[in-house]
Amino acid sequence: MAGYLPTSPKPGKTRRWSLDEPPTLTSSSGAVDEESPSSVDLEVLTDPVSTDKCLKESQHCSCLVCKRKYSKRSDNTSQFVQYFGLRKSEVFCDVCEETKMKALKSCLVCQTSYCETLLEPHQKLHLNKHKLMDPVENIKDYICQKHERPLELFCRDDQMYVCVFCTDGDHKTHNTVHLEEESKKKKTRMMKTKKDVQQMIQDRIKKIQDIKHSAELRKKSTEQEKAASVELCTALMRSIERCQAELLEMMEEKQKAAEKQDEELIQELQQVQQELKMRNTELEHLLHTEDHLHLLQIDPSLCSPPHTRKWPEISMNTDVNVETLRRALTQLQETLDEKLNESDSYALISLSVDVTLDPDTAHQYLILSDDGKQVRRGDIKQKLPNNPERFDHYPGVLGKEGFSSGRFYFEVQVKGKTVWNLGVARESINRKGLITMCPQKGFWTVALRNGNEYWACAGPSVSLSLRAKPQKVGVFVDYEEGLVSFYDVESRSHICSFTGQSFTENLYLYFCLFSKGDKDQNSPPVIISPRNSKE
């Protein structure tokens, strides 16, 4: 009872005290109340060594938060304990005449505290009818100042403590109960509050752990990406250097071939030039001869120009062969594309996460493997509890692991399947009855229908034109960027992406295996690929 009564009411006036509102330690502006001890003041009571040390070095000590100064340790303790009504100082017997003994009980009727020796005769005298309580110094605080009777009742209408006589006066028509009953009620509320506070603490501990875990994953992912970038740049530089060397070698060979051709042409021209000079000299001599008989007897071919190639029509190749250069550049581009594809694949693989299927969410027609990595559709409906998490209309299933931040990637083998939906879904999706699979309803998926029709379930669905039929589909999610992308793993090609999304909940892997299609073709299971790592 003492723990719920007010302290030091003003004479002549009954103090009001709310059981639902604890004392306020801070003002509305958030500043610490100058009349109230702060949370650090509390540490002075629980760890007196630090206070003693402070008092040894200075005549005053102050709270580190509220800066309130105390001249004595006893002053601080007394003020704090008195403020919260938790005074634990010793109470002495009011009846002992010589050596005061420690009081055992305080009588609310007599308003007197008794030691163990004097309490027994007091009880015999009053036939154990007086109401006793744990000894308190301020016994008058527990007595009605108007009727001089113990404050045994609580008025719920006025939120104040009253005595039995008060219920015949000002509180006659009010709702009054015994302190024990009101105390029990408040303890129940406090117990609930305690549980709520403990849950809040646990939630925050878990959130801190989640943040730290995400930070570790992000750091690891960054280190992997940095290593992948260095490896990529090194590979690209080597490829460029190799292609450059091959191109230069090709151009050098072309130059040498051209120079050799030029030398041969020059030699041939020089030889022809010599022959022409000799012909010219011979003709010059014949033109001045008077030996007509000899002139008529010479070879008639001498009167015609010698037969040679048409040199003016021969062009000199001074440029590098364009087609050769184009082929070299094409080869270089193909090499770069290959390296970039390898880089994208490595970047995604470095973000791979280990996901498994949650049997509590699986539709009754779906059969999961023991390791949670495979799922297929059965012909018989299994007897499973219809819990809130389970899909009951469409044969869907979610992953166990949820993701609320960062980037992650996983791969799913769909080889041999003719009908499926694959992607991610948020935690609060509808799992009962008809479901619309679109981002507005919390689904980000691609779908296969009739064996060769691919759709992006964007609400409305968008037809996808794919060069090859994906045998394994990769799913990449960037939570903060609001991005969900799908890839054909084997051909290293992009299928489609959902961009500009807003994620506020955990995201889970999602499958749906419809019953349409050929059963023999649709019998293979869907398999989650194991987490990959680049060796």
Q: Across the chain, what does the average pLDDT equal?
A: 77
Q: What are the residue boundaries of the structural domains of the chain, listed by start?
A: 183-319, 366-528
pLDDT band at 527 (very low <50, low <70, confident <90, very high): very high
Give the residue with greater pLDDT, 533 vs 144. Answer: 144
Residue with token string 């083998």:
413
- Helix intervals (H) in 288-319: 292-297
Q: Would you state the pLDDT for residue 62?
A: 57
pLDDT tens per residue across span 108-127: 888 889 998 889 899 888 88
pLDDT band at 138 (very low <50, low <70, confident <90, very high): confident
Residue 450 burial (CB count, 10 A)? 9
Q: Would you state the pLDDT for residue 43?
A: 40
DSSP for residue 254: H
Q: Which residues does 478 contact at the CB level (< 8 Å), separation at least 6?
A: 407
Give the residue with greater pLDDT, 52 vs 388. Answer: 388
- Is the Cα torsion angle 161, 162, 167, 169 positive or negative in sign? negative
Mean pLDDT, rounded, for 237-263:
83
Question: From CA 106, how far away is CA 134, in angstroms rounded?
Answer: 6
Mean pLDDT, rounded, for 296-301:
67
Q: 198 burial class (0-12, 13-18, 19+ CB within 10 angstroms)? A: exposed
Question: From CA 207, how far away is CA 201, in angstroms rounded?
Answer: 10
Question: From CA 108, how far away is CA 127, in angstroms rounded?
Answer: 15
- Which superfamily does CATH assign the domain made up of 366-528 to? SPRY domain (2.60.120.920)
Mean pLDDT, rounded, for 179-200:
90
pLDDT band at 438 (very low <50, low <70, confident <90, very high): very high
Residue 52 has pLDDT above 70, yes or no: no
Q: Would you state the pLDDT for residue 115?
A: 92
Mean pLDDT, rounded, for 305-317:
60
Q: Would you state the pLDDT for residue 428?
A: 93
Q: Give the residue from 365, 369, 363 showing the smallest Cα distance to 386.
A: 363
87, two tokens: 């005074």
Mean pLDDT, rounded, for 320-324:
57
pLDDT tens per residue across span 441-468: 999 999 999 888 999 999 889 999 898 8
Mean pLDDT, rounded, for 484-502:
91
Q: 422 burial class (0-12, 13-18, 19+ CB within 10 angstroms)? A: buried
Mean pLDDT, rounded, for 347-359:
85
Q: Would you state the pLDDT for residue 363?
A: 93
Q: Would you state the pLDDT for residue 302?
A: 64
Measured distance between the N- and C-terminal CA atoms of the chain, rounded to whole angstroms: 71
